[in-house]
Each structure stands twice: as structure tokens, then as C-alpha cells.
Structure 1
């Protein structure tokens, strides 16, 4: 359930878009959401209280000064930028075993009760498990629930995007029976199928990738989202040549994505 920040009234979400990541291979969705929150300067308005995620606490991942660096963050927080009618749920820890379904039910009930216009899920899938069709063209794909087909399908076609291909349920036995398959996608498939059943407008954007340095994947997925929602324009970074301009600001926490380096005492 959503809990507003202390001293704040529960905000109105009706008509807004909810953006969230799936905890998936390479943490690409979570990294992309980091970029959106930090670039747009989104304010934290509360958190999502649930026992379905591994408990965690840490320092402010979007610190800009010594003062706000001491602020704490937890495993599921909610941010908003009212001018863009955008609400973001950032998830920072993995799910507890056998809690996937309970989380999806809780989340979608909240989406319904708040009157969100649509939900956008950023996810990823194992690149090495692609079928022949998925090897062709871009590594980015999308999915639309039936409820959102009328409003966004035409736009996806104008953007020349590729919908995620289904795979044969029984390869080499019956190639006509197709199923949705998102290996490494975490709760993506369950969340999407539940949204289809409940009539919720959901758009899934995902990237095929492998574990490793997933910063380029996160930037690509954030750009993919931006093509659709137009969240930010390309902006020149101070003191950098035009060729390295970017629309996304990198959070300070990304300096520690691969640890803090080798301690000099080792040598």
C-alpha cells in the first residue's frame, strides 16, 4: 500500500502515468528509472509498503549536496512530477520467494483505486534466449495490454517499434501455438497478464541484454521510453563537446555500481 511522506496529504494520482521497473536481468529497468527520477528532479512523495520485497535501507541515491546525502532511502519509494502527470515507483530490492503474485495483486489494486491513466513497466530479458525472430533488428521491444491498444498502438507503429514476438509453446511439435516468454524478466510476464485480465492500460518496454556493465542498456531503454512520453529534451552538458551531449543526468550513486575500487593497502 502507498504511504505518503510524513506531514503530507495523500496526493491525487488520477489521470497520471505510473512508471515502474521490473527487477530483471541486469537491473536495466531500475537503472533507467534512476535516470528519469534524477534528470527530472522528481520529488519523493511517499513509499510503497509491502512485505513482498527484501527489506533494505541506504543513503540517498540522488544526492547532490553533503546535506541531502545523509537522507535515507528504502526498497520501494514513490516519486512524482505533477507538471508531467508522471508518478514513479522505484523498486530497489529483489522479491521474496513466492511473493510475486501477492505483490502484483496489491500493486494493480492500488493502480485501480488511484485511477492511473496507464502503467509503463521498464524491463529486460536474457539476450542469449532470443529466438530467430528476436535476433533481427533492434534489441528493444514493447507489449501493449488490450485496454491500451486503442490509444497507443498507432503511435508505436509510427515510431516503427517492434512488438515482442511470442514463441512456439511446443517447438518442432506444434509451431502454431504461441506463448509469451520473457526469460530473466522477473514479474514482467505475470504483471502484464494480470493487467490484461483486469483491463488495466499497461505498456511494457524491454531490452534484451546480458549481465555486466548495463549502463548502455539503461540509457538505451530510457531513450526508448522518451520517444514515447517525451519526458526530456537533449541537453548539452557543461564543458562537454556537442558530440557527447545527453538528455540524461547520471545519479551520484552510479559511481559505486561496481564497488568502490581496490583498497591501496592491498599493494
Structure 2
């Protein structure tokens, strides 16, 4: 599945892996863009699979005319060796009928690569929140038992709110119904988390409730949330300005309104 960019495959042993879930507003993907661009991470390979929609295009993180002509694909891996950090960026939707296969491939790759922990950046429909989820911060987290043993105390010190389990039938109180994990609009987030629990993988999900639209502010909020834990950049300058937007973001909303229509 993973194809290295050079003859010598990189070692991910002990690295932290950050990846997005293709979810509402593409917030996780936008947050990963900010990480790769700001930390000037190096592309070390790509994922070859028929589980995602194929794509090829110019370098989304181009800094000059020369590197703008590089070809990039739908799913690529970037690293920062100094920070022992790896990122899997997924740029296209996961094919619905192959979601299970994709999750299995990701879990197998994580286990084979020896990542110390994995963080999934995701999002969920704001309009489908339960009553208890309407209060306070729109940010939530989930953590597998394997990671709870390693980082549970650190996350507890941050004062984060864990994703609430909700009733199967909203508005009804039935003592015979167990609350369940529900992440509407989250793509493979819930299933990947469940798979990771079963495989005893140290994995965390960080997500934000949002709506479709200009989701750059949501991405900045989510990456700041991650930064509180992983300390990717200096927190004293935390805010939108400290994160470097990639050159590809100039095309997020297309070109401006042509003056000739007036």
C-alpha cells in the first residue's frame, strides 16, 4: 500500500502519525495542510490503493515556480524527522463500498510501521448535536484504551471534553437503551476508532462540530487543539497567523467575480 519516494524506505518506528478523516467541511484535511506547510514537511511516499478516488495534480505546497510543477497524488505521506512526526494527507473521497477495505489497510500499515501513536483529525455535523453537546466548546476527543495507558493523564490535564455517547433515539429516555457513539458526517472516523480499539492500537480522534462553508477557521481551531497536546509550534504565537497557508489555498473558492457581468 505504501510506496516510498526513494529507494530506501523511511523508518516510522516511534513516530506520531497524524491523518485526516474525509469528513464534513474537509476540516481535517485543511488542518493537515497547515501542518505540512508550516513545518515544511518532506514528502516520503504515497499510498497506492483503489479504495480512494484517484487524483493527480501540481504541488499543493509549492514555494517556487520550480517545485510547482511536481506531480502529487490523492494520498501522500510527509515527515519531519526531527519531530518524529509523520502525516498522511488524503485529498479525495474514500469510495463508499471500499471503506472497510481502506480501514483495514490503514490499520495494517500503522501496525507494520511501528507508529507510537496515531491522531485522526475529523469533524461532525453541528446541526446533529445532542442537547448536551450544544454547551461549551465545539471540540471533542476520543482515545483508545491502548493510548489511554500512555497519554490519558496528559489529556486529562488539558481539560478536554470526551465525545459524548448519545441515545439511539434523540429526545427519548429509555433506560434499556445503551448510549452509543455517534459521529454524523465523520466519514470513517467512528469505524476506524472502533477497529483501533479492537486491534489495541494507540489512537486518538480530535474532532470539531462544524457546518459546510468556509471551514478555514475550523481548521485553525482544530490544529490549535492538536498543538495544545503535541506542541508543534510555539504556543505563545498561537492563532491563525502562526500557521502558514499552502499555495493551493488560493484556489479554494475559485476565481473572483468577473467584472464583465456588471
TM-score > 0.5 by shorter chain: yes
Corresponding residue of 2:71: 72
Per-residue CA deviation, residues 174-207 of structure 1 (Å, 9 max, x unaligned), is 2551110000000100100000000001000000
**Segment of structure 1 superposing worse, 255-264 or 107-116:** 255-264
Q: Which runs of 5+ in 2 are unaligned?
A: none
Q: Find the residue that maps to 2:242 and give its secondary structure.
A: coil
Query: Structure 1 residue 101: deviation in Å?
Result: 0.3
Q: Which runs of 5+ in 1 are unaligned?
A: 237-242
Query: Structure 1 residue 78: deviation in Å?
Result: 0.3
Corresponding residue of 2:186: 185
Answering whether residue 207 of structure 2 is matched by residue 212 of structure 1, we say no
Query: Structure 1 residue 169: deviation in Å?
Result: 2.2
Between the aligned partners of 1:170 and 1:248, the Cα distance in structure 2 is 40
Q: Find the residue that maps to 1:167 and give its secondary structure.
A: coil
Between the aligned partners of 2:260 and 2:242, the Cα distance in structure 1 is 39
Corresponding residue of 2:174: 174
Q: Find the residue that maps to 2:79 and give its secondary structure.
A: strand
Between the aligned partners of 2:129 and 2:103, the Cα distance in structure 1 is 26
Corresponding residue of 1:239: none
Q: Find the residue that maps to 1:116 and give its secondary structure.
A: coil
Q: Find the residue that maps to 1:177 and give its secondary structure.
A: coil
Residues 35 and 248, structure 1, Cα contact 8 Å, conserved in 2: yes
Answering whether residue 222 of structure 2 is matched by residue 221 of structure 1, we say yes
Corresponding residue of 2:40: 41
Per-residue CA deviation, residues 215-240 of structure 1 (Å, 9 max, x unaligned), is 0000000000000000111587xxxx
Residues 57 and 265 from structure 1, CA distance in 2 versus in 1: closer, same or farther, beyond 3 angstroms? farther
Corresponding residue of 2:257: 262
Residues 62 and 253, structure 1, Cα contact 8 Å, conserved in 2: yes
Residues 140 and 208, structure 2, Cα contact 8 Å, conserved in 1: yes
Say how many residue pairs are matched: 260
Residues 173 and 55 from structure 1, CA distance in 2 versus in 1: closer, same or farther, beyond 3 angstroms? same
The CA RMSD measured in Å over matched residues stands at: 1.6
Between the aligned partners of 1:36 and 1:209, the Cα distance in structure 2 is 20
Query: Structure 1 residue 71: deviation in Å?
Result: 1.1
Answering whether residue 141 of structure 2 is matched by residue 146 of structure 1, we say no
Query: Structure 1 residue 265: deviation in Å?
Result: 4.4
Corresponding residue of 1:195: 196
Corresponding residue of 1:248: 243
Residues 227 and 235, structure 2, Cα contact 8 Å, conserved in 1: no
Query: Structure 1 residue 97: deviation in Å?
Result: 2.2
Per-residue CA deviation, residues 117-169 of structure 1 (Å, 9 max, x unaligned), is 11100000000000011111100000001111112111111111000001012
